[in-house]
Structure 1
Amino acid sequence: MDRSGELSSARRNAVFVTVALGMLLAALDQTIVGTALPTIVGDLGGASHLSWVVTAYLLAETIATALAGKLGDLFGRKALFQVCITIFLVASFFCGFAHNMAWLIAWRGVQGAGAGGILVTAMALIADYIPLRERGKYQGALGAVFGVVTVLGPLLGGLFTDHASWRWAFYVNIPVGIVVMIVCALSMPKLPTVARPVIDYLGIGAIAVASTCLILMTSWGGTEYPWGSSTIIGLGVGGLIALALFVWIELRAREPMLPMRLFANPVFTVCGILSFIVGFSMFGALTFLPTFMQYVQGASATASGLRMLPMVIGLLITSIASGTVVGRTGQYKWFPVVGGLVTALGMYLLSLMDASTTLVVESLFLFVLGLGLGMSMQVLTIVVQNTVSYHDLGVSTSGVTFLRTLGASFGVALFGTVYAHALNQQIARFGPLPAGVDLHVLESPAGVRSLPEPLRALVVDGYAESLQTVFRTAVPIGLLAAVVALLLKQVPLRDTARAAATDLGEGFGMPDAGDREENLERAIATVWRHRGPTAAPGVLASAGISGGIGLAWCLSRVVLFAEHYGRARVDQIARHYHLPPQVLWPAYQRCVEDGYVTAAGGDVALTPRGVAEYDRIAAAWRQWLSGELADWEDASDTDFSDAVRSAARQLVFEDEPAAREPAPHSLRG
């Protein structure tokens, strides 16, 4: 099978459900542990390592996303998807089995590596198995799944923690993952691997070392080791050396994972910095808000997840609204500027909360934070895709999402350091604990609630002040985002970018495989979904196709089935669309009468006149696509022209569900 849509509708839907469930697992585990972390710390100890449960996952995911796209090209995406699901499931089991914090952190890293491969491979699998004309719909749905599940993870984590055990936040992946593996094996045909990509192993290794050293430095500095210690200084120096080595490698690599030439484009540079900051702020807030709600306000894990919903609502409102405005007007610059300011305001408001803050006030503060994050997230990937050349389309898209995930890793680590340092200072103020009160009691929300007064009030105030410090630290980050966004140039948006702006999934920056052909196909699919069906009559009329859509449908199905099965039969075509043959025979009989098709014994074939008419149909669609994508055209890049021709061919060849195919009836009378 190739990409021309041989799968039946049922199998296509099975492929989509499989990929969506895999993505759900991977995206969910980015944030599901947020509401479970206080209980995990209470069970396993190691409050100072709390942030690493999230950081290890995000860092491993960041590194895996850089590798997964090209490994899929090399070994096959279906095989890679199955391997990554297996890695994820094994790691999920051992995370749930953990009996100390070091074990949990180590397996969270392995889990993140599997998740990164799943997320990147998901979009590529849609490109492999879903027809181009349907691809935009499926990809948009996947992006929305990724975004919504990412921010709803804390609620589900709370439900498992309160009504089962925090371990079920990991164990629940296993039955779902097994179902994904079974359906994947049954529904996805194996595709031949023809690509032999060049993989930048040295560059990926260098950035992995640099990221790990710098994150360890920010995480351990002032908590595990003094800032002036040889360990912290060594990590800082090692990280900077590895970062310089990464730049040196990328300048010389045949196919660098992050080409340094991209930073010569000021729009990419600004968007990359903003993506880093947005990831930094968003995951910092998501990680520590449930901790505040459980320790300071005494909320259950489930309640803390529910209390996050105002932020989710605010984020969705501004993501959708900003995408709609950008799509209609092409104006995007002020969204990240205002978003940075509103995010800073939201963080400042959170820093004012304490044990006496009412639910209504807290919800308002979280709603404000969500509004700011939504405005900042939606436009960055779209703007980058709009300004780079076609040759850099894939690496620039994956580069922005890579920087966003890397920012999330740094944000959680740095906020975790601030939290641990402030909490240690607060605990030191408590003085000797009363007889019979173990220090470890302070590490769990239930333990804090069990303390006698006035010690409980003192401990709650200590947690409140520690977390207020975290949120105050985030305020300058939001202001920095607004200042950086002022440097973002306003340039006219390509039509494909404006169409993509209205898709919710684009705003969440899902990890991307970095394949420019797949990104261009995604743009073509988006344009087709928004404009293709309404353009069809005009396109065919301009080409002088007298039979219109009905004739185009009949001729293209003859070509499609002859290509795949060696011959085309009307009963075979009808069976494919779950129709009785007598429904299609009148349409094909009209084609025979008009000299486009010959029919013998149920077989149909194009006559020379039919071939000429089909070629005119294909040329008309190719011309329409070229016009729609004129703002992408790069005369020096023949790959672009080939991609447009390939897409035009797919749009003619590919089948659609019968429910959307009234075309043959239009040939009657």
Structure 2
Amino acid sequence: MPPEPMSAEETGRMDHRRVIEALTGLLLAMLTAFLSSTIVSNALPTIIRDLHGSQRQYTWVITAALLASTASTPIWGKLSDLVSKKLLVQLAIGVFTAGSVLAGFAQSVDTLIVWRALQGLGLGGLQSLVVIVIAAMISPRERGKYSGPIAAVMSVATVAGPLLGGVIVDTSWLGWRWCFFVCVPLAVVSLLVVQRTLNLPVAKRAVQVDYLGAALIAAGVSDLLIWITLAGGEFAWGSGTSLLLAGTGVALLALAIWVESRAVEPIIPLRLFRDRTTALATVASIAVGTALFGGAVFLGQYFQIARGYSPTAAGLLTLPMIVGSMLSSTLSGILITRLGRWKAFLVAGAVLMVAGFGLLGTIDHTTDMAVMGVFLFVLGVGMGMTMQNLVLVVQNAVAPSDLGAASSTVAFFRSLGGTVGVSVLGAILASRVGDLTAQGLTEAGVTVPAGTGSAGIGSLNELPPFVADIVRAAYGDGTATILLIAAALSIITVVAIAAIKETPLRTQSGLERQREEATA
């Protein structure tokens, strides 16, 4: 009598129907995560005004979620190598939902900041775990076929979030609290779908969580992110407070490295960086994060301050970049699956990023918007071919037992690079705007008003019209400077990717490789 065929749980292979079913819940969770990240942007001024908050608190509402998300990413990733991925996804959804509900009921900015941090903790889990679970279900060679839906979800959330936030705030019978409540039903539905469709075997490994390493990494990263976020604004870069924060962060991370090197199950296995592919992909991810998040984030400010568009219109004007990213991510994924080769697409994507930022580095406050759209499309195409495929390369290179830790490490360093980029390039932009404003006012024979170079949208309206025009021109021309810096940073990505040795994409999923490793 022939033996009964093994189940999917036993072989680790999932058929197309089961992958699509599981992917539905994961994409709902991803949509929820990305929507909640972007929906607050247009609503935040109203929230701070209604809760009688300050500019400092405004910054912390954003920073709290970013800190929690970035610092927790490697921890979620390592846990996914040790315990049930399905349980972790459900836990992340639950944490996010709780944070959203509590944030919606916040009666002060301080409590809102706390619940935003809880939201960020859940978001950090969702953003890393979805990528890890997809890698477990689908082989690197076949993953390109599923790039379209993933890219579409990210693109829709990026565009729809700010627009939806603006509509909610402008609708009298809703109000800003629904910016937090609106994602809760989506989160609940994704939780139910994940419970029904995501059935993955649990790795049979002794669970020895490195709690000390996790605490030191979280504390060190949080300390450095706080320093980078506040330096240059709340205190000078060279002040005692700045040096104390920087020194403490470096000391905590140095101690974390020492602890990780001796831990049985380190949160970020240092052996990963001995692998040439992982090390170079990490360098490329830092550069990508710094350039993309640090450069592209100021495009909204350019459209609103330099060109006078509303927040909603500014969001729509970035559509060429979003469309370019979605198309290139989908098409490159399909071609990678068909050809089994990835390096040419990654190199081309990185080169297009350099070209996109280089072209954007030529803009000023009078650049034709059609031309701007072409430049943004080029940048978007480069983004789509680079970001997700960098993670794919690392997942293809590492052992199945390190899949979660390696995936989250790449995401962690990309987020870290983005945070550094926003702060450093923001400081450069502020300095450049100040210089250009002073120059413009001097040429007009006007004494420079204190703080004019840092004027925001609200304060611009309080300035005399001709002075406001000079400041707007300074923002428009100054933005080109940081976009050129982003182009230079993108060159690092090109060099790092070019140095990665191309290896054939595996045809086994993470689960199949894990089972093979266990029975070897």
Q: Same-fold call, TM > 0.5?
A: yes
Unaligned stretches of 5+ in structure 1? 498-518, 525-631, 633-637, 645-669
Name 2:495's counterpart in structure 1.
483
Give 1:224's match in structure 2, choosing from 234, 251, 266. 234
Q: Structure 1 residue 362 and structure 2 residue 372: aligned? A: yes
Give 2:417's match in structure 1, choosing from 407, 417, 429. 407
- Alignment partner of 2:234: what SS? coil
1:259-283 CA-to-partner distances (Å, cap 9, x unmatched) read: 2222222222111111122222222
Number of residue-to-residue matches in the alignment: 497
Q: Structure 1 residue 21 and structure 2 residue 31: aligned? A: no
Confirm or deny: 8 A CA contact 2:356 2:376 kept in the other structure: yes
Q: Structure 1 residue 159 and structure 2 residue 163: aligned? A: yes
State the AA in 2 paired with 1:454: F
Confirm or deny: 8 A CA contact 2:358 2:487 kept in the other structure: yes
| C-alpha separation in 2, matches of 1:193 and 1:207 | 25
From the CA coordinates, give the structure whose radius of gyration is larger. 1
1:646-666 CA-to-partner distances (Å, cap 9, x unmatched) read: xxxxxxxxxxxxxxxxxxxxx
Q: Structure 1 residue 90 and structure 2 residue 98: aligned? A: yes
Q: Shift of the alpha carbon at 1:152?
A: 3.6
CA shift in 2, pair 1:39/1:144, >3 Å? farther
Q: Structure 1 residue 267 and structure 2 residue 277: aligned? A: yes
Give 1:384's match in structure 2, choosing from 383, 394, 398. 394
Name 1:640's counterpart in structure 2.
516
Q: Equivalent residues in 2 for 1:412-561 (5 A)?
A: 412-420=422-430, 422=432, 443-444=456-457, 448=460, 453-489=465-501, 491-496=502-507, 520-521=510-511
- Alignment partner of 1:379: what SS? helix
Confirm or deny: 8 A CA contact 1:53 1:104 kept in the other structure: yes
1:42-77 CA-to-partner distances (Å, cap 9, x unmatched) read: 877766787665554343223333233565687755
CA shift in 2, pair 1:495/1:74, >3 Å? closer
Confirm or deny: 8 A CA contact 1:348 1:472 kept in the other structure: yes
| C-alpha separation in 1, matches of 2:259 and 2:138 | 40
| C-alpha separation in 2, matches of 1:264 and 1:193 | 24
State the AA in 2 paired with 1:65: T
Q: Structure 1 residue 113 and structure 2 residue 121: aligned? A: yes
| C-alpha separation in 1, matches of 2:491 and 2:516 | 40
1:269-326 CA-to-partner distances (Å, cap 9, x unmatched) read: 1111111222222223443222221222222222222211111222233334444454
Q: Shift of the alpha carbon at 1:414?
A: 3.0
CA shift in 2, pair 1:154/1:276, >3 Å? same
Confirm or deny: 8 A CA contact 2:322 2:380 kept in the other structure: yes
Confirm or deny: 8 A CA contact 2:71 2:222 kept in the other structure: no
| C-alpha separation in 1, matches of 2:143 and 2:275 | 32
Unaligned stretches of 5+ in structure 2? 1-6, 170-175
With structure 2 as the length reference, what TM-score do the two structures score?
0.78
Q: Equivalent residues in 2 for 1:252-401 (5 A)?
A: 252-390=262-400, 392-401=402-411
CA RMSD of aligned residues (A): 4.4
| C-alpha separation in 2, matches of 1:116 and 1:315 | 22
- Alignment partner of 2:236: what SS? coil
State the AA in 2 paired with 1:474: A
Confirm or deny: 8 A CA contact 1:36 1:301 kept in the other structure: no
| C-alpha separation in 1, matches of 2:405 and 2:411 | 10
Q: Structure 1 residue 199 and structure 2 residue 203: aligned? A: no
Confirm or deny: 8 A CA contact 1:22 1:180 kept in the other structure: yes
Confirm or deny: 8 A CA contact 1:284 1:411 kept in the other structure: yes
| C-alpha separation in 1, matches of 2:289 and 2:468 | 34
Report which structure shows greater RCO (CA 8 Å, sep ≥6).
2
Q: Shift of the alpha carbon at 1:360?
A: 0.4
| C-alpha separation in 2, matches of 1:251 and 1:195 | 20
State the AA in 1 paired with 2:227: M
- Alignment partner of 1:255: what SS? coil
Confirm or deny: 8 A CA contact 1:38 1:444 kept in the other structure: no
| C-alpha separation in 1, matches of 2:234 and 2:307 | 28
Q: Shift of the alpha carbon at 1:160?
A: 2.6
With structure 1 as the length reference, what TM-score do the two structures score?
0.62
State the AA in 2 paired with 1:156: A
Name 1:662's counterpart in structure 2.
none
CA shift in 2, pair 1:38/1:310, >3 Å? farther
| C-alpha separation in 2, matches of 1:20 and 1:177 | 11
Q: Shift of the alpha carbon at 1:153?
A: 3.3
CA shift in 2, pair 1:404/1:139, >3 Å? same
Give 1:149's match in structure 2, choosing from 139, 150, 153. 153
State the AA in 2 paired with 1:226: A
| C-alpha separation in 2, matches of 1:433 and 1:161 | 34
| C-alpha separation in 1, matches of 2:461 and 2:497 | 44
- Alignment partner of 2:503: what SS? coil
| C-alpha separation in 2, matches of 1:74 and 1:425 | 53
1:453-510 CA-to-partner distances (Å, cap 9, x unmatched) read: 2233133224334534432332321122223333223x3314428xxxxxxxxxxxxx
The answer to which of 225-234 and 235-244 deviates more is 235-244
